[in-house]
Amino acid sequence: MAPRVPSRGGSRQAEIPIPAWLRARILHLGPEVMVLDKPAGLPVSARSGESLESFLPALRMGKRRDPQPTHRLDQDTAGCLVLGRTAPMLARINALFAERRVGKTYWAVVRGGPAGHSGLVDARLLKVSSAAKGWRMVVDAKGDPARTAWRVLGRGEGIALLEMAPETGRTHQLRVHCAHLGCPILGDAMYGGGAGALHLLARAIDLPLDPPLRVEAPVPDHMRAAVARCG
């Protein structure tokens, strides 16, 4: 997908060219904040192999330090990822996420569809693991609080397009909550959505800065046909 991973060593990190595929995914570039359209399949960080972290030196763009992600986005989820370009802004945005003041909007194409037009999933999530299946998240009263507001944007034959606004940020929250509604996300084999690419997009991010910042990500190629089917 991407060119050779740039080296993090040496004194010429600021001069590392940005790969064309990555430059095309810069949705917003300000003095202190950058928003990327993270491609599905690329982890933000990884112990080994290619990750977005490997390309942070190329995203300095005149700064002395690498920009840093301010929140998590799963490897198979595409869309808006916010990076802080200065230490003060990184701390500020981290605090906004911790205070749940950042608006997060996701789109998901799901199998079937929920009853009704909109609603709120209020279902605690617990991490479990087994030798046979590995780890996963499950709805369990002993888990951590997790709330997701949702509404139907459109329906197609056997599928629906949901807009979701998570009020909490638990691991796999949207994936498990969709499955809990009886309509797992397409391509989410772990939670009943079948094989293929995960049809989950971090569609928009709203940061209560001065001035406020709202950034939207386009629908990725692998979701376009299904989104179109939903009207």
Q: Average pLDDT, whole number, for the chain? A: 92
**What type of residue is 35?**
V
1-99 and 103-204+219-231 agree in CATH topology: yes
Q: Which fold has domain 1-99?
A: Pseudouridine synthase (3.30.2350)
**Which CATH number applies to 103-204+219-231?**
3.30.2350.10
Two structure tokens written together for 156:
């197609």
| Per-residue pLDDT, 13 | 46
pLDDT single digits (tens) 135-159: 999 999 999 999 999 999 999 999 9
| Residue 2's pLDDT band (cuts 50, 70, 90) | very low
Q: Which residues contact 146 (CB under 8 A, 6 or more apart)?
A: 121, 122, 123, 124, 125, 166, 168, 170, 173, 176, 177
In this prediction the pTM is 0.90
| Per-residue pLDDT, 87 | 96
pLDDT single digits (tens) 63-118: 999 999 999 899 999 999 999 999 999 999 999 999 999 999 999 999 999 999 99
In the residue annotation, 74 being an active-site residue is answered as yes
| Per-residue pLDDT, 5 | 45
Q: Which of 66, 74, 144, 206 is catalytic?
A: 74
Q: Which residues contact 51 (CB under 8 A, 6 or more apart)?
A: 42, 43, 44, 45
| Per-residue pLDDT, 89 | 97
Domain locations in the chain?
1-99, 103-204+219-231
| Per-residue pLDDT, 15 | 64
For the segment 18-40, the average pLDDT, to the nearest whole number, is 96
**Dihedral angle of Cα 72, 183, 113, 43, to the nearest 10 degrees:** 30
